[in-house]
Structure 1
Amino acid sequence: MSKVPWKLYRFKYEDYPEYSARITGHYAGDLLIIEEEGELSEEAVRLIKEALGINENARKFDIEVRDIMKIPVEDLPDKDRKTLLEAASKLDSESKLHVEYRYQPSFD
Structure 2
Amino acid sequence: MTELPDGDARPDSHNPFSAVPIEIVVSVGKARPLVRDLMRLGENAVLGLDRRVEDPVELYVGDKLVARGELEELEGDVPGQLAVRLTEIANLRDELG
Q: Which has the higher contact order (CA 8 A, sep 6+)?
A: 1
Q: TM-score range by the shorter chain?
A: under 0.3
More helix by share: 1
TM value normalised by structure 2? 0.26
TM value normalised by structure 1? 0.24
